[in-house]
Amino acid sequence: MSLYSKQIQNRTMLTVVFHEMTIPFTVQVIVAQPLTRANRLVLKQSSAIHDYMKHIDRVFSPFREDSELTAFNQGSLMFENTSQDFQTVYAISSWAEEKTNHLFSADYLGTQQYDPTGLVKGWAIEQAAKHFLFALLAEDDFIAANLIGGGDMQFATRPGSDWVWQLAIADPFDTKKIMAKLAMTSGAIASSGTVERGQHLINVAQHRAIGTQASDIISGSVISDSLAEADIWATAVTTTSISDHRWLKELDGSGMRISYGKIAERWQNNRIVDQKELIYA
């Protein structure tokens, strides 16, 4: 685990990068001044987050023969005997299916194989950020922290500080570029789409792959105060077309979507703010 340090205005940003479950994680911590004690604490907490992600993989990996998820799907592990983490995720996924009117589904291709992959990452990042990273903000000199995993993030700023995170949303047509910016102190952003892995999302409610027609969504980003919630909704709003807004009344916070036809839209507080063609995308 290596640590980068750089100056931003008159603050120091410490960055640690690691990967687990093929997902790249970036830990960012803003401190008032460079201190070896800060470096040591950030490395220690990053290591704790890495261990936590290994634990999450052991519980929820659909690819591991020895995971709780595999045992549950094979019928060798009863629901009542699953761990608290498993039951928590199960509760959230069943709640999410109802809340999103089944735009989000944890039922793998309708086969009764439970697959919570669509929310485990966001939920785990939120848990890890709150337990291992934001605890640092109680320390003197620690101003703000952000945990990013595969393009989703949960961040916080110490109350009373004037620090504001400057964040961006990637352009799905050219991920080397950004298409939107936002400034926030605390919250979460999740993005969903078909860009990076080049594989299709499946809309389980309709048992069809997401199309690549002009009206289909190439990328959707949801901004919330909870990454678990943002991750669920990013998946959900990406499964509908750019003209379908049945989900809007249930989704608090803000966000944006872009269709393959390069129509972009933004929403906030349950209403569409604007929709326009991105001629430069």
Partner 1 sequence: MLKKLTAFIISIILAVAIAIDGYLLFFKKADPRTVTTQANTNSQAVPASSSSVSSSSGSSTVPSSSGAYRDGSYTGSAVRIRWGRVRVRVLIKNGKIASVSTLEYPNTNPHDQRVSQIALPTYESESVQANSSKIQAVSGATETWQGFTKSLQNALNQSKG
Residue 159 CA to residue 139 CA, distance in Å, equals 12
Minimum CB–partner distance for residue 166 and partner 1 (Å): 5
* Site string (14-33) toward partner 1, x via CB under 8 A: -x-x-x--xxx-x-x-----
| Alpha-carbon dihedral 173, 175, 179, 185, rounded to 10 degrees | 150
Which of positions 225-264 make contact with partner 1 (CB under 8 A)?
A: 225-226, 228-229, 252-256, 264
Do 257 and 242 contact (CB within 8 A), yes or no? yes
Minimum CB–partner distance for residue 139 and partner 1 (Å): 20
Eight-class DSSP state of 185: S
117, β-bridge pairs: none
Residues that contact partner 1, how many (by CB under 8 A)? 92
Minimum CB–partner distance for residue 114 and partner 1 (Å): 8
Which of positions 103-162 make contact with partner 1 (CB under 8 A)?
A: 107, 112, 121, 146, 148, 150-153, 155
Of 12 and 132, CB closest to partner 1: 12
Stretch that binds partner 1, among 53-61, 86-94, 131-139, 243-251 (CB under 8 A): 86-94
Q: Find the helix or strand (DSSP H, E) in which 50 lies.
A: helix 36-60
Do 26 and 66 contact (CB within 8 A), yes or no? no
Of 49 and 264, CB closest to partner 1: 264
User: Does 47 engage in binding with partner 1 (CB under 8 A)?
Assistant: no
Minimum CB–partner distance for residue 185 and partner 1 (Å): 7
User: Does 10 engage in binding with partner 1 (CB under 8 A)?
Assistant: no
Stretch that binds partner 1, among 10-18, 33-41, 54-62, 134-142 (CB under 8 A): 10-18
Residue 163 CA to residue 185 CA, distance in Å, equals 7
> For residue 14, how many C-alpha atoms fall within 13 Å in the half-sphere facing its CB?
28
Please give the radius of gyration of the chain, using alpha carbons only, rounded to the nearest integer.
19
